[in-house]
Structure formats: structure tokens, C-alpha cells
Amino acid sequence: MKVIQILGSGVFAIALCAAGSVQAQMSPVGLWKTIDDKDGAVRSEMRLVENAGVVTGVIEKILIPSAEPNCDKCTDDRKGKPKQGLEIIRGASKAEGKDVWEGGHIVDPDNGTVYKLRMTPIEGGKKLEVRGFIGFALLGRTQTWIRVQ
């Protein structure tokens, strides 16, 4: 009887860990391969982190070098800074009751345009839909990023 109780406890503990792991994946936090929505090329790796409920994102690694290595077209404090290491996502937070992060902004480092942001983990957190838009969410574009870790 004790063996069954011990085995049952072990199975329960494993199930709890697995459930926590799945829940953790339904978050934008992690390392992502960015996929260009126009040509499908893997362009960079983005590191998204959460601090006090706010998600920010930094270009950790550029995979396709640009003719312009700096964000020269940015108009805020990022102007002239190297694209690698650049914080392009700021201020996103989780929408209440949903697996959606919004309320922040994302900058396109190639043209300096700042867009409103909505991020939605899909496929169990293996992919992330990143939507940048001006005004209404219908007026924008979406990229699907792939989780690295």
C-alpha cells in the first residue's frame, strides 16, 4: 500500500511540473527567432523578458546583416544606437484573463516607425504572433516568431 501511495505522489508531482511547464510556455518571455512576414527569412533572435509584469524585448543576435547597423532612423532615445542589443519592445503587459500581451510598443529598426503592439502565444507557446499597428489593430501587420527557448 505504501508503494502505491509513493508512486501516486510521484505521478502527481510530475503532472504538476508538466502543467507548470506548459503554463510557462504560454508567455512571450524567452528567446525567439524573428521571421520576416514579407520573405519568410529568419532575421534575428529576440530576447523577451518580464520585469514587474512588463515585457520588453531586445535584439540579441542579428542573423542577416543590414546595410545600416545602427537605428539611424529612430526618432527617440534609440537613435543612432546599434541594432544588435537594441530594445525594440517596450511596455507590453498581459491583458486580464487572456494569453495576450498588449499596451506596449515595438519599433521597426529599419525605418524608425513605432507601432502599438499585441503579442499572442500560439501553438502551445511554440510560436508568437507579433502584431504592430497604428491606430486600430486592423491596420497593421503580423509576424510569427518561433521559440528558440
In the chain, the domains with their CATH numbers are 28-147 (2.40.128.520)
Q: Residue 1: count other Cβ atoms within 10 Å of its Cβ.
A: 5
pTM: 0.81
Phi and psi, residue 13, nearest 5°? -65, -40
- The answer to whether the beta carbons of residues 148 and 30 sit under 8 Å apart is yes
| 12 and 112 Cβ atoms separated by less than 8 Å | no
What CA–CA distance (Å, rounded) separates 86 from 48?
12
Residue 121: strand pairing partners: 128
Do 131 and 142 touch, CB atoms closer than 8 A? yes
Instruction: Answer whether 111's CB lies under 8 Å from 73's CB.
Output: yes
pLDDT at 16: 37
CB distance 43 to 63 below 8 Å: yes
Report which of residues 13 and 137 the model is more confident about.
Answer: 137
**Strand 54-62 relative to strand 114-122: parallel, antiparallel, unpaired?**
unpaired
pLDDT band at 22 (very low <50, low <70, confident <90, very high): very low
Provide the Cα torsion 133, 74, 87, 45; round to 10°. 80
Residue whose entry in the numeric block shows the C-alpha cell 527569412: 41
What's the pLDDT band for 32 if we cut at 50, 70, 90?
A: very high
Nearest to 115 by CA among 90, 94, 149: 90
pLDDT, averaged across the chain: 86
